[in-house]
Amino acid sequence: MKTSQKFTAELIGTFVLVLGGCGTAVFAGPAVGFAGVALAFGLTIIAIAYGLGSVSGAHLNPAVSVGVFCAGRISAKDLGVYVVAQVIGGILAAALMAFIVAQTGGVRGTFAANGYGSDFFGGAPGYLNLSAAGAFAIELVLTFIFLLVILGSTDSRFSNGGFAGLAIGLTLTLIHLISIPLTNTSVNPARSISQALFSDNKLALPQLWLFIVAPILGAILAAYAYNAVTGKSKK
């Protein structure tokens, strides 16, 4: 595929992911609860994986692209293209969400941004008072798990890949079920950046670094762990 096609696929895919997952949290969160938001993220991943996966692989996440690069499956050029497209796609989706909120006469509030601690969530029902160390640890470990599933389910040596989208989407759902009450679940720097930029929560931007560094580090560790266990995968 041409670079422009991959860029467009990643931009559109990440736009849909942020709109589908974060949009559900912002517009329907009180109605569907944590489980509904988790399912929304998983369903969106499944849809885009089968819709655009043949073009770019449907990474939709800078941490995924970094992990896939470290596993030796994409070039440095593609990595740069993917990350830029993903961040832009996420920001465009968040901008649309902010516009829709304004049209309803509502306020953005936390706006599904990622964060941790009682000061961030303000005692909102269901959220736990997690420390920065705890937030870093859970984001790193869950991204590590997410990348292992992605690398394994898309490895042509061991799987035909036909069910990869389903496996990845269900894993993302599980990840959200675990960590929405802890950090609002990132495991995706593009998703974190987009929401933090439009959030009214004063801690969203100061805490953003954690949701960039921890997922990327978890993805890197997963790539090297996967290759160590299975042998280096071909591109």
Q: What tens digit of pLDDT does each residue of 47-56 get?
A: 999 999 999 9
- Yes or no: say if 187 and 59 are a contact pair by the CB < 8 Å rule: no
214 band by pLDDT with thresholds 50, 70 and 90: very high
Mean pLDDT of the chain: 96
Q: Which residues of 105-119 are buried (b: 16+ CB within 10 A; e: fewer)?
A: eeebebbbbbbbbee
Question: Residue 97 and residue 82: Cα distance in Å, rounded?
Answer: 23
Q: What is the pLDDT of residue 166?
A: 95
**pTM to 2 decimal places:** 0.96
Q: Which amino acid is at 56?
A: S
pLDDT for 162: 84
Q: How confident is the model at residue 18 (pLDDT cuts 50, 70, 90)?
A: very high
d(CA 15, CA 7): 12
**110-131 residue pLDDT tens:** 999 999 999 999 999 999 999 9
Residue 39, classed as helix, strand or coil, is helix
Q: In 3-state terms, what secondary structure has residue 71? A: coil
What helix, strand, coil percent values describe the chain, rounded to 5? 70, 0, 30
Task: Identify whether the C-beta of residue 198 lies closer than 8 Å to the C-beta of residue 98.
Answer: yes
